[in-house]
Structure formats: structure tokens, C-alpha cells
Amino acid sequence: MSIFQAIIMGIVQGVTEFLPVSSSGHLALIKNLLGVDTDTGILFDILLHVATLIAIVLVYHRDVIKLLTEFFKIVRDVFVNAQRAFQNLFAQGDPLPYRRLATSSYRRFVILLLITTIPTGIIGVALKGVVKGVSGNLLVTGICLLGSGGILFLSDYILERHKKPKDASWGDAAVIGVAQGAATLPGLTRSGSTIVAAMLCGFDKKFAVKYSFIASMPAVLGALILELTDIEGGISGSEVLAYIIGMIFALIVGFIALKFMIRLVLKGYFRYFAFYCFGIGAISIIAYIIMLF
């Protein structure tokens, strides 16, 4: 892979990761158009997602810091409760009280994110072989892009409600996790799927966007860990440079695109992206048929 190809893919990832048009689907199309072939499987794709993950941290840094702080406090309280449960087994008097975990809005937000991550992880692991097998397949990508268009078109008919973390249920978090896990297929929009799932669960639009992008962070980190344990080949010095440059472009473009995306969702412009996905999906399928002949 050349540096030029890495730059193009970084720009595509930065733009499409946050706009609801499927970054994986567009990366698959670009690989076909530019003839990109790496010796490390989908590691470069994952690293591009890590770059856009950093963009999420930069945009939502206050929320991320608070969520991490509350996460470690929850872990501490879990250990305290486990210790007290053991002590209560042998206590003669009144049992020791347990600490409540969801004592604030941010603590509840942390627990919701953890629940979302569980089905995402299970589906991601189950589909890992499938995703690798269909990566770059224009037919699968095209069909999934058509599905993305349908998901986005549906969003215009969702009645707006106003759930915040204190109102969201554990079931809501699981539903979003399933949507996020399914979106590992190339062509299915992760941001669009999770935002629409959150809106169907009654989330406030602004919170749905924030939840969608912050929920992607543990999923991307988990995918990176899995991929690092299964690299298909060594990375040459030239590829390392190309990977780094691609990530830099994905980070810069992604930061701008995320800011733009937040405004778009609040103004209800999803249907325009639906038509785009329908068009690109149709082009992908036609290109696949032409390549057969």
C-alpha cells in the first residue's frame, strides 16, 4: 500500500465514520477502486477506526473524563460490595450495607455503555470470520448499503422523545449493542444504526448521537485487541509510515466530520444520507455484476 492510498483511505474513513454512510463499506469500495492490498488483513481498517476514536475523545473529552472517573469508582464499589458479601456470610449482627452503583447520571451512563458492549462484543466475535470473508465484496457491500439507506429513511418517521441516562433502561442499552454488533458487516452504517436504534428506544436526539459515538470506543478497542492477536503477516517499514499517515488524516478529517454530524442529526437530515446509501449501494451491486463478465 502506497502513502497516497493510505491518505485517500484516511480521508474516506474520517468523513464516513461519522456521517451515516458506512465507513467500512466505503473503505471496501476504495480498496477495489485503488487496488489496495495489505499483508495484515483488516488491521489498517481497525487502525483508521482508532484514529477516529481519538477524534471522539477530543470532541467529547469532558464526558469521557467523567465516564472514566465514574467507571473506576464503580469498580471500587464492586470490590467493596464483594468484600462485604463475604463478611456478611459470617456476621453475627446486622449485615453490612452494600454500596449502590448507579448513584448518578454518569454512573448510570457507564453501566448502560457496559451493557451495550456485551452484545456488540459477542456479535463481533461471532461475525469476525464472516466480515473478513466478505471484506471488499461489492455485492455484500451493496446489499448492506441498501439496508443502511432503509435504516436512515426510517429515522424520519420516529417520534422524537427525550430519554436521558436516568430514564434509559438496561434493555435499551442491549438493543443498541445488537445494532452496533450487526454493523460490523461492510456497508451497514454503525453510526446510523446505533443512532436510529437509540431514537427508537426514545433517546433524546443529542443524547442518541453522544451515546452512539462514545459506545463505539470500547468496541473499536476490542476489535483492535482481537486483530493484533491475529495479524496475517509482518508489517514492513514503508507500511508503518503509510499506516501512521493514514491515521493522521483520519483523525483530522474525522474531528471536523463529527462536529458537522452533530449539527446534521439535530436538524433531521438523515433522509438525504438514505438516498446517498441507496445510490452507492446500487452502484456497488452493478459494479459487481459487471465484474462477473
Residue 203 forms beta bridges with which residues? 163
**Domain ranges in the chain?**
3-85+102-292
Write out pLDDT tens, residues 169-203: 999 999 999 999 998 888 888 888 999 999 999 99
Write out pLDDT tens, residues 200-223: 999 988 899 899 999 988 887 877
Write out pLDDT tens, residues 231-244: 555 566 667 888 88
The Cα 66–Cα 228 span in angstroms is 29
Task: Give percent of the chain with pLDDT exceeding 70.
Answer: 92
The SS3 call for residue 49 is helix
What sign does the CA torsion over 166, 111, 217, 172 have?
negative
Model-level pTM? 0.82
Are 243 and 6 in contact by the 8 Å Cβ rule? The answer is yes
Among the listed residues 293, 248, 263, the one whose alpha carbon sits nearest the alpha carbon of residue 51: 248
CA angle (185, 211, 247) in 5-degree steps: 60
Per DSSP, the chain holds a count of helices (H) and strands (E) of 12, 0
Cβ neighbors of 35 (< 8 A, separation 6 or more) are: none
pLDDT at 229 over 70: no
Query: Which residue has cell 509510515?
Result: 241
